[in-house]
Structure 1
Amino acid sequence: MLAGCGGSRPSGEAGYEAMAGNPESGERYDGKAVSPIHRAASEPVSTFAVDVDTASYANVRRMLMGGQPVPAEAVRTEEMINYFRYDYPAPADRSAPFSVTTDLAVTPWNPGTRLLRIGLRGYDVPRAQRPAANLVFMVDVSGSMDAPDKLPLVRQALSILADGLRADDSVSIITYAGSVQTLIEGSHDPAGIKAALSGLEAGGGTAGGPALSMAYDLARAHRIPGGINRIVMATDGDFNVGLSDQQGLEAMVRQNREDGISLTTLGFGQGNYNDAMMEAVADLGNGNHAYIDSAMEARKVLDEELSSTLFTIARDVKVQVEFNPAVVGEYRLIGYENRALREEDFADDKVDAGELGAGHQVTALYEIVPAGQQGWLPARKYAANAAATPAPSGDASEAATVRLRYRLPNGTESRLIEVPVAAGRLAAAQAPAGDMAFAIAVAAFGQKLRGDTRLGRFDYGDIARLAGPQGDYWRKEFVELTRLAATRPPTVTATSAAE
């Protein structure tokens, strides 16, 4: 299955051959259409795999700061939202690895609808308490990496990670260009690791397939039972996998995923950046995908959020929301287009889904039309096609039920959490404020960049005002990005690229 962090694509074992991007730059993205609208009476259940990737936000930031057009296909709204942390409570204890929070607010761009926010927060693990890590750095040193925002930034990023390692961690480093070389094997010495990284130089072709095979061999040779066993691939994604077909790559990653070796991808650079491949391979490998556009982003991902990046606390995390047609007329999920699952996949433990790391957060937003209110969908002509009349009984006490299913890292059977959403909360919803307002602002930003027509005339100035003044560095930067977006070059879409 190719789908952030171990997510699933709608068609199951789908690849990344359907790619779009900016034809002027050669960057490749696997874009999906904006999620459709559903009638609760005929389609009451929505199911998706969680996603904790953040690559899309950092990549879009790079484009906006560089004065470049933003391809709509490059924007994954859920990754924009999940780039930031929100005020969700920590789980009470580790018997359940994450807390579940639900909030409701009036939609800023449509006062007739409501926004339901679902928030998950994993338990935190101090660096000193995380399991020992067996890491294999797989570094692309091919000619395409010879740029200031590529290999030099790779050296800096992985040096930051090396500074955060413990004495019981093991690190191996392999490089790949025209051939594969092993620089360090099973080292516990941060100084030696950083010295090896400092000597990296770019040049030659690309042999990604053999390098990935070698990386798995090294990870297996230095496996830490009960520890973290992970490959960290640093590349622009422009590599020939070196296998006869895509199925061979899928089989390699899937087999090693089942053997307990996960794969994280770190994207670098521009012009030939293959986001589609990077995201897909990381998801297939039960890992996560981040884009590193600066030394500050490297420190955020590989130092401040190191435990989240490395240590998985819950596997195959799925979310399912069942809406009550007596209370909800229509709904739409904002983002998660390439994480959609079938209803029957939710209870099927054989269906792979998203992984949650220590301290990770996941946020999802649904826009809801209350029953009896004018929605997006037109009335139907024939009586048999009309929405069923809502039950007049006590069936209206709940608006929805949020269900979560997950496995513990070493568990074989999934566990279920159910959280009802009281119907009265829809009527009592107020205009969004504080943390909720900021999350909605980020969601609107992503959807605006995607060309979502449901936002109406809600513009970037409205988004900045909704976000409000911020003290946190990353949130302040977001507000500045909304101002840059208002003056950016036209968005490039797959349709316009073909014209």
Structure 2
Amino acid sequence: MNEQDMNEHQLPEDLQQQLQQPIPAADANTKARHIAAAMAAFNAQQVQTTSGPQENQANENLATNAAQNNLQKKSNILQGFFQRLRPTRDINHHGTDSMNNAINNTSNNSSFDHRPVWQKPALISAIAASSLAVVAGLTLTQHFMIHSSEQQLADAISMDAARTREPLNLASEPKLAKEKIHAEPAADMVVMQESVEEVVVNAPQPAVAMPAPMNDKFSGQEAELSKSIHAGLAAAPALKREASADMSAQPAQEFRDRFEDFKENSVTAVSANPVSTFSIDVDTASYSFARRMLNAGQLPAKDAVRTEEMINYFDYAYPAPRDKKTPFATHVSVMDSPWKKGNQLIHIGIQGYQLPASEIPQSNLVFLLDVSGSMDEPSKLPLVKQSMSLLLDTLKPDDTIAIAVYAGAAGTVLEPTKVKEKTKILAALNNLQAGGSTAGAEGIALAYQLAEANFNAKGVNRIILATDGDFNVGQTSDDALQDLIERKRDKGIYLSVLGFGQGNYQDAMMQTLAQNGNGTAAYIDTLSEAQKVLVNEATSTLFPIAKDVKIQVEFNPATVAEYRLIGYETRTLNREDFNNDKVDAGEIGAGHKVTAIYEITPVSANNKLLEPSRYQTPKVVDSKTNELAFLRLRYKLPNENQSKLIETPITNQLPEAKPGYQQEINFSVAVAGFAQLLRGSNYLGDYSYDKVIELAQANKGKDEYGYRTEFIQLVRKAKIAQP
């Protein structure tokens, strides 16, 4: 036999390993059977030896022929696994072994043993021993595989059961427990406690892959064994345990967003109160907060919607003032009301003067950043850092930045530093981490100290507060804090507020700080919003062109029976406040746009909501006048304390607005209608979200940044979210 034939017909490696295993000792019954078979063969040999030579020769010839015929019929069956266990020397490519060839070649040789196989004790013993070794090897292999798999399964279940039975000692690791709970979304954590009596924990199943196709070297018995093992692994039972006190269901997280409670402006009879006075408002926080809620599939709270902030969120192409001597221009138009037939809308648009780059003053800014524990969310402190980084790109190299932070206490992170040292400023921002309570009043006091230490008499001195508004620690009262902000405002240091986050947002506090600090309030919910407020509108946000801006409208009782101011509920002033320069009002930044809308009911209309007074004597007025109202606007220049006055009559014969300007008016009216729908206004009749979409879509204009397209999508989301 050559080496190639030996390599081709050597036993498979797995069977060689099995045959090398020690053969277990046979039991007593097995030994008895083998001894009896050997004795029977020996006795038969003795009988055959004593028989006549001719009879023996004939019998041997018959037996040999029968054996050869039988082997020839079963030659195909004997191939494969059991044939390889026969003690042959070689196997040729035709499936016949060299032992059989030797028998055929020596059939006439008298010295060759022609007895049947079962009459050859040595061969029978060799076959029996080999068969017993194979059976024993297979048995041991199966036993080992089953035992090993069962042991692995038992170990996995035992380890998981040990982990499950081990009590959770949250008291010993309060920080870990707190962080875990804080990281989980509230909706995923909440389980109603009264419905839970037992916690069922499914043990992790062992990784069971789908059985691969069986190798044809393995017998059917081995395949069945593999299937049974997989089935046993997949049938691992669930583990149960009772919840400990530490694992009891947590109550639903209470969202503590707070907004100032106010009622919608009502209809007023001109005969009873012909004058309306209010402070202008350029804040936009309400719109971006409402947007966040709508994008989450929820309608915003009614008090979170301030109509004037929704309207003023957008940029309108109002005609600009001719020069900076008059810091803004007013534009008035009258149109039919889209939601109440017979009524009219008086639309007042104010456009601020846009400072050219050469006139932008230097800036002395202090970033006052809330780093308390409530800011430890992706939409809070991380977004604050990104937003402040964007603002840096809009400043001049000689502008200065200081950074103060507050948590349980306040501290200075960065002394006033030139913007040209941008790397140093960014490093200070990036090193900030959230933790602790919120000493907001102490932080504001520190920020004013930094601003005063680097005060620029010819520039802009402003504190930019970034917070979620949670001023939950501090011994300073609200009145004392407001007094501090007002005193610093009068010295030329303004305060603007950027709100972040949800669930702990204190809008009322943010509005109070911004209004008393002659600043603006914006809500940053995305990096795109930070880009809009701090980059695209940077000059409007940072550089004021007028302060204490007040609007007063006196209606003509001869032409107007009723009026209603849409929005500005939190900005109303007394009539006498208009001429009192001591009364604070809002500021307008460079390039700011401000819109105010009145809905009026003409005297000639039949849809008045208010009955005429029974006992009031009608005033004699000139019925020939065409004036609907008279507009007064009072303001101060940034460095002056004496106000200036602008007056404009509002007639019912105003020239028709140019097409481009009318488009801007119509879109602002669509936003006003949407805000009123969100608040559940009682004055809209059957006006609907679909009509808002129709009006806005027809007057969307160029929409360079896509804000108006986004608005239309928000209206659609509100329509879906409504009950």
User: Could you tell me the TM-score, scaled by structure 1's length?
Assistant: 0.90
Equivalent residue for 1:3?
A: none
Kindly indicate which of the two structures has a greater share of residues assigned to strand. 1
Equivalent residue number for residue 457 of structure 1: 686
In the alignment, which residue of structure 1 is the partner of 2:383? 153
1:424 to partner: Cα distance = 2.7
- Kindly report which structure 2 residues correspond to 1:314-463, keeping only aligned pairs within 5 A, or say none: 314-380=546-612, 382=614, 384-385=615-616, 388=618, 391-394=621-624, 396-425=625-654, 434-463=663-692
Conserved? CA contact 2:334–2:652, under 8 Å: no
> SS where residue 486 of structure 1 aligns?
helix
Q: Where does residue 343 of structure 2 map in the other structure?
A: 113
Q: CA deviation at 1:66?
A: 1.1
- Aligned letter for 1:423? N
Q: In 2, distance between residues paired with 1:221 and 1:365?
A: 43
Superposed CA RMSD: 2.0
SS of 1:333 mapped into structure 2: strand
Query: Contact 1:138 / 1:231 at 8 angstroms: preserved in 2?
Result: yes
Please list the CA deviations of residues 419-459 of structure 1 after superposition, one character each: whole Å capped at 9, or x if unmatched: 111233499999x9521110000001111111111111111
**1:493 aligned partner:** none
Structure 1 or 2: more helix by fraction: 2
Alignment of 1:458-473 (within 5 A): 458-469=687-698, 470=700, 471-472=702-703, 473=706
State whether residues 52 and 356 of structure 1, in contact with CA within 8 Å, keep that contact through their aligned partners in structure 2.
yes
Residues 241-300 of structure 1: per-residue CA shift (max 9 Å, x gap): 623421111111111111111000000000010011011111111111000011110011
In structure 2, what residue type is equivalent to 1:125?
A: L
2:510 corresponds to which of 278, 298, 315:
278
Between Structure 1 and Structure 2, how many residues are aligned? Answer: 464
Using the TM superposition, give the Cα deviation of residue 407 of structure 1 relative to its aligned residue in structure 2, in angstroms.
0.6
Deviations 1:356-415 (A, max 9, x none): 100011100000111121244242462x147x2562454x22111111000111112111
**Alpha-carbon separation, structure 2, partners of 1:426 and 1:104:** 10
CA, structure 1 residues 112+173, in 2 after alignment: closer, same or farther (shift >3 Å)? same
**Is residue 267 from structure 1 mapped to residue 499 from structure 2 by the alignment?**
yes
The AA in structure 1 aligned to 2:484 is M
- Aligned-pair distance for 1:127? 4.2
User: CA separation in 1, counterparts of 2:542 and 2:656?
Assistant: 42
**Structure 1 Cα separation of the partners of residues 613 and 707 of structure 2:** 50
**2:396, 2:634 → 1: CA distance?**
33
Kept in 1, the 8 Å contact 2:333–2:657? The answer is: no
> Gapped runs of 5+ residues in structure 2?
1-252
Q: State how far apart, in whole Å, the 2-side matches of 1:300 and 1:205 are.
A: 30
Aligned partner (choices 311, 319, 331) of residue 89 of structure 1: 319
Q: What CA distance in whole angstroms lies between the structure 2 residues aligned with 1:244 and 1:193?
A: 30
- Is it true that 1:219 corresponds to 2:451 in the alignment? yes
User: Conserved in 2, the CA contact under 8 Å of 1:118 and 1:365?
Assistant: yes
Rounded Cα–Cα distance in structure 2 between residues aligned with 1:426 and 1:333: 23
Answer with 444-453 or 184-193: which moved more.
184-193
- Cross-structure match for 1:140: 370
Larger radius of gyration: 2
* CA 291–160 in structure 1, closer or farther in 2 if over 3 Å, else same: same
Q: Is the 8 A contact 2:299 2:678 kept in 1?
A: no
Could you tell me which runs of 5 or more consecutive residues in structure 1 were left unpaired when the two chains were aligned.
Answer: 1-22, 491-499
Q: 1-side partners of 2:271 and 2:587: how far apart?
A: 32
SS in 1 for 2:530: helix
* Counterpart amino acid of residue 475 in structure 1: R
Q: What is the CA-CA distance between 1:476 and the residue it aligns to?
A: 0.6
Aligned partner of 2:469: which letter? G
Aligned-pair distance for 1:120?
Answer: 0.6
TM-score, structure 2 normalization: 0.62
Measured in 2, the distance between the counterparts of 1:226 and 1:200 equals 32
Q: How far apart in 2 are the matches of 1:391 and 1:278?
A: 46
- 2:341 corresponds to which letter in structure 1? P
Check 1:263–1:102 CA distance in 2 against 1; reply closer, same or farther (3 A cut).
same
Relative to structure 1, the CA distance from residue 285 to residue 268 in structure 2 (aligned partners, 3 Å threshold; closer, same or farther) is same
Picking from 468, 471, 493, the partner of 1:236 is 468
Between the two structures, name the one with larger relative contact order (CA 8 Å, sep ≥ 6). 1
Aligned residue identity for 2:653: G
Contact 1:141 1:200 in 2 (8 A): yes
8 Å CA contact 1:329–1:375 kept in 2: the answer is no
Report the Cα distance in structure 2 between the residues aligned to 1:363 and 1:105, rounded to whole angstroms. Answer: 15
Deviation of the 1:172 alpha carbon: 0.2
Per-residue deviation, 1:125? 1.3
Contact 1:325 1:390 in 2 (8 A): no
Q: AA paired with 2:468?
A: D
Q: Which residue of 2 aligns with 1:26?
A: 256
Does the 8 Å contact 2:380/2:501 carry over to 1? yes
Q: Which amino acid aligns with 2:323?
A: D
